[in-house]
Structure 1
Amino acid sequence: MLKKILVGFLLLTLVFVLTGCGSEEEAAGDGAAETQEAITWTFAHEEVQGSVQDRYAQKFKEAIEAKTDGAVKIDVYPVGQLGDGANQVELLQNGAIQLGINNPGSVGTLVPETNLFSLHFLLPSDMDKAHELVNNSEAMEMLNQKYLEKNMKVLGWFPEGYQMWTGNKKITEPADFEGFKIRTMASPVISESYKTYGADPTPIPYMEVYSSLQLNMIDGQVNPIFAIEEMKFYEVQDYMMLSNQAIFVGTFVANDLFWDSLSAARKEQVKAAADEATAYILGAQKDLNATRLESIKENSEMEIVELTPAQREKFKEASLPAREFYVEKYGEDAGEILEMLLEDVAKITK
């Protein structure tokens, strides 16, 4: 039933998009015509209201509506309103929605090279450097082209925060993961990364994680701090390990045909608004994650375990075979992207 609804929505929206495309082209030749009637673009993301992705979307909405003097309006749809992350990626690819934020977990089967962000201890431990890296590394240009081949034009990359482990027991070394059933997104690289520790990675839809933890169907999960707090995972978990093993990376994209339909002036406005949102979200996600960590400490009995550099190094060494798996599974281009990124990481962390 949901699929039929989505298909119907897709067809109706495609008609709308094609009509809107004509309007944009006409407006390109007549500046006054651009402001006569507002055009509405749909922007879907994979998180709940108030999350990092939602704040990014709201900042972009504010910026583009201001830059176009209201000629463009943005309707923001959080996760669940247009389906889950996979549904939203499909709608975006097909042009049923114009804009969206996705992550390697939901787009990894379409753009397998992007699974490199699921590798552990890859990006710098300094968030400012990580933010700079995902926006300036040459490796990202190769990834952007891979997205474009799948009908998605990348407009920005941004770290949402370091991912942390929560569990029903304390985890401070790889051996503690032996037989541990951890909820992950459905990604071969994520699964392989946890298998290197001896864990049992278990893909479960995001909105079902709380109940799965509550019913002891899984032993733990992994997410940024803000998500752990807003989804109240601290109510059904005893420990949170500040592991910093990976950064959850968001990708702001547009449907490629929609992007091509825009006038040059409108594209510049969109790029400028995206740059504003990308710059803004660095500080916003830091503040959000810090605030949510304090909230967890104040409102729960969850024990916070901060891994030492030596403990992280043991996990890093154990996880390295997952990098080989990534290259073997996804091929030469994936290997080149990984090598380029590692080189840039080495430069930026000197």
Structure 2
Amino acid sequence: MQLRNIVIAVTALGMVGVASSAFAETWRFGLEETEGSVQYGYAEEFKKLIEEKSGGDITVQLLPYGTWGSSYTALYDAIQNGAIQLGFGSGFLGGTVPESQLMSLNFVMPSDQLKTAKILNSDAFLKSDAWQQSFRERGLVPLGALPEGYQVWTANKEIRTPEDMDGWQVRVMDNSLLRATYEAYGASPITIAYGELYSALQQGQAEGNIQPVFAHENMGFYEVQDYMIFADQAQFVANLFGNLEWYEGLSDEQRQTLETTLDEMVQKGHEIQSQFNSERLDIIKEKGDIKIIELTEEERAQFRELAKPIRQVYVDMVGERGQKALDILLEQGVGSSDQGS
């Protein structure tokens, strides 16, 4: 019944686009984030390029967080059943595509954020059998990846070492690998719905939070926390994926339009996240009195050592296919970075 209601609701949303352009095909694009986010900025540029290249034959309808339901599972289900054609999935996607938790590993991606974007969108990784089959077996197809900036910790106390995390109740996405990672650091990770996180931090139900800078500002999390800690341990990566049946039903011309747009969006996506995070950090510094901490290399090294065994935890969770996907990333030069060493 819940799934049926989602389909009806999303179909109703789509009627707006159909009415305004009777002969245009509509691609509904589901976002995990609200307007004013990196995902929304990416989607706006994607929409512009697709509609221009198709000469108006394709319209893209953006569905930000809240327009498709209140749980991320509802979004992923809607893409699986074709009510929404494509969308983003990040940490929560691990419940639908377990192998996607690869993006949650700490101290694996290059410190150069553009290099990360290029590797994750390369044919060697994105079109590898291991990564493709991880999604296709669930009725989905991976189309790209959007690194949204470094994950930054906020807390009501200084955190510089794993000892400082002892018993720290930090909110993480509902992702078993993230929980394992922060348990390895000594924290006590908890899961709280994104829309309820501000009040949870304000009321002390959670003692800390992990988000890219733009999200801390966009949702006002910095207003109810005392410290913002930059450890450069992981970038927040959103997987872009589509409904498999929809993708396979695209004409050659439509697929070419999609592929060339996705190629352009690698650089554009990096520029969008860089601008968003830089501007939002300035706003946080200007409006708030939160204290900024940047960990030294020696401090980061302590967390890096604790994070290394989690790679095997990931492989044990998802199996051989996950190992192959991880190996491809390492072969692409990820492991030679300061994070993967």
Query: Which TM-score applies when normalising by structure 2?
Result: 0.91
Moved more, 293-302 or 258-267: 258-267
Measure the CA separation in 2 of the matches of 1:295 and 1:149. Answer: 43
Q: CA deviation at 1:300?
A: 0.3
Contact 1:56 1:278 in 2 (8 A): no
- Where do 5+ consecutive residues of structure 1 fail to align? 21-34
What residue in structure 2 maps to residue 234 of structure 1? 222
Contact 1:45 1:85 in 2 (8 A): no
Measure the CA separation in 1 of the matches of 2:100 and 2:243. Answer: 18
Q: CA deviation at 1:336?
A: 2.3
Measure the CA separation in 2 of the matches of 1:177 and 1:347. Answer: 26
Measure the CA separation in 2 of the matches of 1:211 and 1:2. Answer: 27
Measure the CA separation in 2 of the matches of 1:95 and 1:7. Answer: 9
Measure the CA separation in 1 of the matches of 2:123 and 2:7. Answer: 37
Contact 1:45 1:77 in 2 (8 A): yes
Any idea what SS the aligned residue of 1:42 has? strand
Amino acid in the other structure paired with 2:135: Y
Any idea what SS the aligned residue of 2:138 has? coil
What is the CA RMSD across the aligned residues, in angstroms?
A: 2.1
1:94 maps to which of 66, 81, 86? 81
What residue in structure 2 maps to residue 67 of structure 1? 53
What residue in structure 2 maps to residue 168 of structure 1? 156
Identity %: 37
What residue in structure 2 maps to residue 27 of structure 1? none
What residue in structure 2 maps to residue 340 of structure 1? 328
Measure the CA separation in 2 of the matches of 1:254 and 1:4. Answer: 19
Question: Relative to structure 1, is the Cα distance of residues 93 and 36 closer, same or farther in structure 2, using a 3 angstrom cutoff?
Answer: closer
Question: Relative to structure 1, is the Cα distance of residues 275 and 138 closer, same or farther in structure 2, using a 3 angstrom cutoff?
Answer: closer
Query: Which TM-score applies when normalising by structure 1?
Result: 0.89
2:252 maps to which of 264, 282, 305? 264
What residue in structure 2 maps to residue 126 of structure 1? 112
Contact 1:137 1:341 in 2 (8 A): no
Measure the CA separation in 2 of the matches of 1:164 and 1:236. Answer: 15
Measure the CA separation in 2 of the matches of 1:288 and 1:190. Answer: 25
2:274 maps to which of 252, 261, 286? 286
Q: CA deviation at 1:76?
A: 0.4
Q: CA deviation at 1:349?
A: 4.0
* Structure number with bigger Rg: 1
Amino acid in the other structure paired with 2:285: K
Measure the CA separation in 2 of the matches of 1:347 and 1:225. Answer: 25
Q: CA deviation at 1:209?
A: 0.7
Measure the CA separation in 1 of the matches of 2:146 and 2:218. Answer: 20
Measure the CA separation in 1 of the matches of 2:49 and 2:94. Answer: 29
1:285-344 C-alpha deviation (Å, 9 max, x unpaired): 111101111111111000000011111111100122222211122212212222232232
What residue in structure 1 maps to residue 6 of structure 2? 6
1:249-268 C-alpha deviation (Å, 9 max, x unpaired): 11222211111222111111
What residue in structure 2 maps to residue 43 of structure 1? 29
Number of positions where the alignment pairs a residue of Structure 1 with one of Structure 2: 330
